[in-house]
Amino acid sequence: MRVNFKLWHLGLDDKEVPEDVTHVIVDDSVRTIKEETFRDCKLLVSIIMGDNVKRIEQLAFCDCRFLRFIRLSETLEYIGWCAFAGCRSLEALFLPPTLKYIGREAFWYCRSLRLLVLPNDINLSNIGKWIIRDTYICQIARAGGVEYEYNGDVSIINESVRQFHEWLIHDMEETPFHKLCCDSFVTTKEINDYLIENGNDSALQIDKIHGMTPLHMLAMNPYASADCIASLFNSNMEAVFCLDNKERTPIDYARDNNVRGCIAMSTGMCNHRNSLRSVSQSEYQT
């Protein structure tokens, strides 16, 4: 029977990554993930980075085909060419607002990728061509009339790339609650303030582009605190059971992307069930 191997990656030149590694925690001492460091780690499932990583060099995680969860450094500035290319199981990636540069085809053939959150103020000229080529996001964008061009006049290709990346940055502006839930610095107060202003039913709103409720997106957000998630689902318990267009609930996503949030939701549901049972027993005795 295979035993999962957890690696504390210290960034030492003479420390090779085992081929059978499944979970990686990047030490706070690491500033750069060097090129090809984790390339072809075919059993790798999750990466948690310390918040001092500034750069991820080219091909660093290329062809990690079972990689499902990445918690990036909150101070990350640079992602190199094809850094995550071929990470076929990756569904969502939340890029921190500190990010300044994304290399060409950084997420090429991440075919399951359906949600990529870019910094609002990133300079479009610092985003390489076709960063999400051959991903599920391309299908979503195509349905909305936006598509990469790969052949023909250079000016046409460049314009298609610009339009695509503009769409990617602004795709959730029509659903501000969803956009808030994807913010890496989202706070419990912001969640509560939105619910007070817009009502608890806003927790059930489904966006047309991704087919998710705000709780789905918050559950996928690795930076969101358990308190944030609890404040949202406590406002409307129905949100926990809502299915997205993949027939999955928020707790399904939290299990892979936000363990603390998953525990918070499970605890909340248990408390809610116990309170209903107490009320039922009280009514019966009456």
Nearest to 38 by CA among 14, 55, 22: 22
62, 40 in Cβ contact below 8 A? yes
**Model pLDDT, residue 3:** 45
The 3-state DSSP class for residue 33 equals strand
In the chain, what are the domain boundaries?
1-145, 176-285
Q: What is the pLDDT along the chain (286 residues), one digit of tens a residue?
A: 344 556 556 555 556 788 788 889 888 889 999 999 999 998 999 999 989 999 999 999 999 999 999 999 999 999 999 999 999 999 999 999 999 999 999 999 999 999 999 998 899 999 999 999 999 999 999 988 999 998 889 999 999 999 999 999 988 888 999 999 999 999 999 999 999 999 999 999 999 888 999 999 999 999 999 999 999 988 888 888 899 999 999 999 998 888 888 888 877 777 655 444 443 444 445 5
**Model pLDDT, residue 275:** 47
Residue linked to tokens 């921190």: 96
Instruction: State how far Cα 222 lies from the chain centre.
Output: 7
Amino acid making up residue 117: V
For residue 254, list its beta bridge partners. Answer: none
224's tokens: 């969101």
The 3-state DSSP class for residue 32 equals strand
Nearest to 88 by CA among 116, 115, 65, 114: 65
Amino acid making up residue 25: I
**Model pLDDT, residue 260:** 86
Backbone angle region of 133, left / alpha / beta, with phi > 0 → left and psi within -120 to 50 → alpha: beta
**Integer distance in angstroms from the first to the last C-alpha of the chain?**
56
Q: What are phi and psi of 165, to 5 degrees?
A: -70, -30
CATH class (in words) of the domain with range 176-285: mainly alpha
Amino acid making up residue 96: P
Overall residue count recorded for the chain in this entry: 286
CATH code, residues 1-145: 3.80.10.10
